């Protein structure tokens, strides 16, 4: 029986060895086997599609924008009217004060009408520049007033030079500012025409 036990033990050991070998080799065979790479679906070049360009429409001028442009035109006419006189003009203190007041009205009116929308900013910049020019002219008229009497008479050579330079400066500022307002109005009309 002892022989039988030894044989059984030997068979058992051989069996375990065989299982271990097969188990170890089976794992190794599976990991070293060459499997073909997975087949990927056919890939074609992406289709090129050209999207039709979308037309973006710019909205027409709003009522507020049109009112703002009309206010600029009205401002221009008001300032120019103060300087449009026929016949002989006597530069009395009262007349020079009226010129200075008319020129200063630009800044007051610009503050009153406020800033327009984004698309009218180029126009706003021109109007603002015109108002700055008018303000310079108003200061010139103030200087002319200081060296003259109530009737506008100027005495003394130095005062005459000051008066002449100041009144010329005042008139030039009015003309230059008026030209800028004219350009601003034209730009406003151009923008209005572009947007329909």
86 with 180, same domain: the answer is yes
CATH of the domain at 118: 1.20.120
* Same domain as 10, residue 84: no
Where is average pLDDT lowest: 9-23, 93-107, 138-152, 160-174?
A: 9-23
Q: How many CB atoms lie within 10 A of CB 110?
A: 18
Taking a C-beta distance cutoff of 8 angstroms, is the pair 173, 131 a contact? no
Give dist(CA 53, CA 36) in Å, integer.
Answer: 47
Rounded CA separation 119/23 (Å): 82
Does some domain include residue 56?
no
How far apart, in whole angstroms, are the C-alpha atoms of residue 117 and residue 66?
A: 11
Instruction: Please check whether residues 19 and 84 belong to one and the same domain.
Output: no
Q: What is the pLDDT of residues 25-63, one digit of tens each?
A: 444 444 444 555 555 455 555 555 555 555 567 789 999
Predicted local confidence at residue 22, as pLDDT: 46
- In this predicted structure, the answer to whether residue 77 has a pLDDT above a threshold of 60 is yes
Q: In terms of DSSP H, where are the helices of 120-156?
A: 121-146
Neighbours of 176 (CB within 10 A): 16
Our count of domains for the chain comes to 2
Cα(192)–Cα(60) distance, rounded to whole angstroms?
8
Residue 83 pLDDT > 70: yes
Looking at residues 61-73, what average pLDDT do you find? 95
Task: Say if pTM beats, i.e. exceeds, 0.75.
Answer: no
Query: Residue 117 sits in which domain range?
Result: 63-195
Q: Is 46 domain-assigned?
A: no
Together in a domain, 19 and 96? no
d(CA 156, CA 149): 12
In this structure, the answer to whether residues 107 and 20 fall within a common structural domain is no
């Amino acid at each position: 029986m002892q022989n039988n036990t030894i044989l059984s033990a030997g068979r058992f050991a051989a069996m375990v060895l065989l299982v271990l070998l097969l188990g170890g080799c089976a794992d190794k065979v599976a990991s070293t086997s060459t499997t073909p790479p997975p087949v990927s679906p056919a890939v074609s070049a992406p289709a090129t599609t050209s999207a039709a360009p979308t037309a973006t429409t710019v909205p027409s001028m709003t009522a507020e924008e049109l009112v703002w442009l009309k206010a600029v035109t009205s401002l221009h006419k008001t300032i120019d009217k103060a300087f449009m006189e026929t016949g002989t003009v006597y530069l009395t203190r009262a007349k020079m004060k009226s010129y200075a007041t008319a020129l200063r009205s630009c800044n007051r009116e610009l503050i009153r009408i406020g800033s327009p929308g984004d698309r009218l900013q180029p126009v706003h910049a021109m109007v603002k520049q015109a108002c700055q020019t008018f303000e310079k002219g108003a200061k010139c008229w103030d200087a002319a007033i200081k060296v003259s009497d109530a009737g506008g008479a100027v005495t003394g050579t130095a005062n005459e030079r000051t008066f002449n330079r100041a009144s010329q400066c005042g008139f030039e500022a009015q003309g230059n500012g008026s030209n800028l307002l004219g350009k601003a109005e034209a730009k406003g009309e151009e923008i209005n025409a572009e947007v329909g």
